[in-house]
């Protein structure tokens, strides 16, 4: 069975992440989404909240496991019995840092390979940090996240439901 790990902070999860997860599900027999818990990083949502938001954002009855981890993603992958780390690419500028990380991971765990999946064109501009900033400044993000995440953002940042702009 080919298992893959898709690691990240997912703070919060958005449609770009979900697109990569769906693509990974179509390729690998088992997909584990690893939610990074790094105590040196300031998150909007706790690791437990991010795990729960991911679980609630995935289609019911799916074959994706969501787990919290700390430390090196490549060690988490090896511990899960995965031979693949999935990384999402939005644009070519992502490739430089992702390529360097993939080479380091290969050095640390030669049996774990990195596979890059491009996001759908509709999600190419999405990042969790940009999404949080737009939301905090009153922008509409409901189409970029699941309803569960939109509600969590409104609750955490105490913002009213943003008006969805009308075309024209």
Active site positions, annotated: 17, 41, 90, 128
CA atoms of 151 and 139, how far apart (whole Å): 14
Cα separations (Å) of 57 from 10, 18, 100?
A: 12, 8, 30
d(CA 8, CA 167): 34
**Are the C-beta atoms of 69 and 32 separated by less than 8 Å?**
no
CA distance 85 to 102: 9
Give the neighbor-by-neighbor strand order of the sheet with 30-36.
Answer: 64-69, 30-36, 3-8, 84-89, 113-118
Say how far apart CA 76 and CA 56 lie, in whole Å. 22
């Amino acid at each position: 069975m080919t298992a893959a790990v898709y690691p990240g902070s997912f703070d919060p999860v958005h449609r770009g992440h979900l697109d990569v997860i769906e693509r990974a599900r179509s390729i690998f027999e088992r997909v584990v989404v690893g939610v990074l818990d790094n105590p040196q990083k300031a998150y909007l949502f706790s690791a437990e909240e991010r795990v729960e938001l991911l679980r609630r954002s995935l289609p019911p009855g799916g074959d994706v496991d969501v787990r919290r981890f700390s430390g090196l993603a490549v060690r988490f992958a090896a511990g899960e019995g995965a031979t693949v780390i999935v990384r999402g690419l939005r644009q070519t500028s992502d490739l430089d840092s992702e390529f360097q990380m993939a080479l380091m991971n290969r050095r640390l765990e030669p049996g774990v390979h990195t596979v890059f999946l491009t996001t759908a064109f509709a999600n190419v501009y999405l990042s969790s940090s940009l999404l949080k900033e737009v939301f905090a400044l009153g922008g509409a993000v409901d189409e970029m996240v699941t309803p569960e995440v939109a509600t969590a953002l409104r609750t955490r940042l105490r913002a009213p439901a943003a008006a969805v702009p009308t075309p024209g």
